[in-house]
Structure 1
Amino acid sequence: MRRLAAIIQSIGFATYKEWAAFRSHMAASLLVGPVLFLVQVFIWSAMFEGRETINGLTYSQMLAYYGVATLIHYIAFDFADWNLQMLVRSGKFVTFALRPLPHWLFALSQKIGHRSLALWIEVLPVMALFIFVFGVNLKPASPFWAVISILLSFLMNFIVNYCVGLTAFWLVRAEGVRRVFLLLKDVSAGVFLPLSFFPEVLQKVLFFLPFQFITYLPTRVYIGDYELAGIRLSIEQAVGLQAAAVLLAGAVMLALYGAAMRRFTGVGV
């Protein structure tokens, strides 16, 4: 375990230094989150006119939801799917297939380094902007459980995206599948609209999908109140459910990775 931790740290630190040289590219994304949040402010200001709550959420809670969801997006952002598909399509994946370290662990280590850099380039500046300019209350209801839930969101987003990337071993051109799937993922995760606003039948379906554990659940845990499809859970129960979902999704990813490696070696590598 100590050797494994050292490997992850080395890869993560190398990725951190690599992206630090191009930090201006990452800083450019600072415009996206605040602009989209400003659009939400205009929309919900009009929606809440003359109303105290909508679907059980007050105006301040709604702004907090989108503020926290934006920060979680920056923290959990992942491009493992695109990177893996490019490696497979270009043939460069063969160099990873010959290494003793599985590629999924290498990719996860890269993400840790990449997002560590994003903490001070993206997350902290945007958080300060939300608090001091927009006046959003970003104080977590339970800091401990909020941190745990966001870390689990970080892992779940990686797992889901990596599974999408693994389709490249079966599809000649997986870019179309990737784009469609990622759009559906964002919708089903609650990025554009809280999942509690969807029809109840659809909420029941979304409850059993892994996507809510990327954005919706950790955002509601951060706020301090979780409810979906008529099911209300305490913060501890919600995080426990999220942890179980991450373990299950991780097992699925490892199974797909094993099948992909057998297919990869079966065609001559």
Structure 2
Amino acid sequence: MKKYFKIFKISLISYLEYRVNFVLSFLFSLVPFSVSVLLWVAIAKHSEFIKVKEVVSYYFVILIVKNITTTNSIIRFSDDIRLGELNKYLLKPYNYCFYNLMADLPERIVFIVMNFIPLILIYTFLHNYINLDLSLIKVFFFIIFLILGYLINFFIDFLIGLYSFYFSKVSSLYTSIKVLRNLSAGNIFPLLMLPAKIFLTLQFLPFMYTSYVPTMLLLEKTSFDLILKNLFISIIWLITLCLFSAMLWKRGMKRYSAYGG
């Protein structure tokens, strides 16, 4: 594990050199946040079913969750395979997937640290419109769901990247899944606004467990049984994605070796 900790440490130092970029990135993410809030607040004023506090609270929490669980490894995975950069990793005593996880994780940690104060300022400014249902047990499971959500997103990206063993570019596939992920994760609008059948269908996909589930945990009174159920489903999805990744990696490596990689 020491070698992976070293990778983590080197990556952390590297990201810290560009820490201002994380603040700028977060500030840019406030643009869609502001647009969404203003749009739904305008709708709420003319609706009996949508409340302003619920809208602002939802988008405030989803802003935090989405930025923490987001991963940006897909291009690196794809380029390593397409451009033959994978060779240098295969010569090292590392697991390629775990190596990249340790290299990517510091990015989220630096993001959290650098944007803690901006988030506090946003909360201070909007606190009259934010209504959270907090408890120690909820905060604990919220953190667990954030970790699982990040890992699920990471392995989804890893799986898409592995398709570069078979296709020259995976940008179209990634764009399609990114759109589906944003819609199904509740990043665009609350999923409860969807028809019951569509909402039920989305429960069978992994995306809502990366953003929507942890977000609603802080907004609604959630039974302990439901928390455990969602936790179980999240873990099952993570294990499933890990297994699919291992299988596709094994098959992809055979193809990579056959072509002289």
TM-score, length basis structure 1: 0.87
Match of 1:73 in 2: 66
Does the 8 Å contact 2:78/2:162 carry over to 1? yes
Decide whether aligned partners of structure 1 residues 225 and 161 sit closer, same or farther in structure 2, where only a CA change above 3 A counts.
farther
Match of 1:237 in 2: 229
Does the 8 Å contact 1:52/1:59 carry over to 2? no
Q: Distance in 2 between matches of 1:109 and 1:45?
A: 40
What root-mean-square deviation, in Å, do the aligned CA atoms of Structure 1 and Structure 2 show?
2.2
Does the 8 Å contact 1:12/1:114 carry over to 2? no
- Percent identity between matched residues is 21
Decide whether aligned partners of structure 1 residues 53 and 10 sit closer, same or farther in structure 2, where only a CA change above 3 A counts.
farther
Q: Secondary structure at the match of 1:133?
A: helix
Deviation at 1:226, TM superposition (A): 6.2
Q: 139-148 or 170-179, which moves further after superposition? A: 139-148
Does the 8 Å contact 2:41/2:55 carry over to 1? no
Matches within 5 A, 1:11-50: 11-50=7-46
Q: Distance in 2 between matches of 1:222 and 1:246?
A: 22
Matches within 5 A, 1:107-122: 107-122=100-115
1:43-100 Cα distance to aligned partner (Å, 9 max, x none):
122121154533xxx4323322211111112212211111111212221111112222
Equivalent residue in structure 2 for 1:103, among 96, 113, 116: 96
Equivalent residue in structure 2 for 1:202, among 193, 198, 205: 198
Structure 2 residue 121 is matched with structure 1 residue 125: no
Q: Distance in 2 between matches of 1:40 and 1:178?
A: 24
Does the 8 Å contact 1:27/1:121 carry over to 2? yes
Structure 2 residue 248 is matched with structure 1 residue 256: yes
Does the 8 Å contact 2:186/2:208 carry over to 1? yes
Decide whether aligned partners of structure 1 residues 242 and 168 sit closer, same or farther in structure 2, where only a CA change above 3 A counts.
same
Q: Distance in 2 between matches of 1:48 and 1:177?
A: 36
Does the 8 Å contact 2:66/2:211 carry over to 1? yes
Q: Secondary structure at the match of 2:126?
A: coil
Q: Distance in 2 between matches of 1:52 and 1:9?
A: 53
Q: 70-79 or 197-206, which moves further after superposition? A: 197-206
1:156-205 Cα distance to aligned partner (Å, 9 max, x none):
11111111111111101222222222122211211101222222332232
Structure 2 residue 75 is matched with structure 1 residue 62: no
Deviation at 1:131, TM superposition (A): 0.9
Q: Distance in 2 between matches of 1:126 and 1:167?
A: 38
Deviation at 1:138, TM superposition (A): 5.2
Q: Distance in 2 between matches of 1:139 and 1:109?
A: 33
Does the 8 Å contact 2:209/2:230 carry over to 1? no
Q: Distance in 2 between matches of 1:199 and 1:151?
A: 29
Q: Secondary structure at the match of 2:218?
A: helix
Decide whether aligned partners of structure 1 residues 157 and 167 sit closer, same or farther in structure 2, where only a CA change above 3 A counts.
same
Q: Which has the higher contact order (CA 8 A, sep 6+)?
A: 2
Decide whether aligned partners of structure 1 residues 48 and 208 sit closer, same or farther in structure 2, where only a CA change above 3 A counts.
same
1:89-139 Cα distance to aligned partner (Å, 9 max, x none):
2211111122221211011101212111111113x1342133111223456
Equivalent residue in structure 1 for 2:217, among 192, 214, 221: 221
TM-score, length basis structure 2: 0.89
Q: 75-84 or 32-41, which moves further after superposition? A: 32-41
Q: Distance in 1 between matches of 2:52 and 2:39?
A: 11
Does the 8 Å contact 2:152/2:238 carry over to 1? yes
Does the 8 Å contact 2:8/2:105 carry over to 1? yes
How many residue pairs get aligned? The number is 257
Q: Secondary structure at the match of 2:71?
A: coil
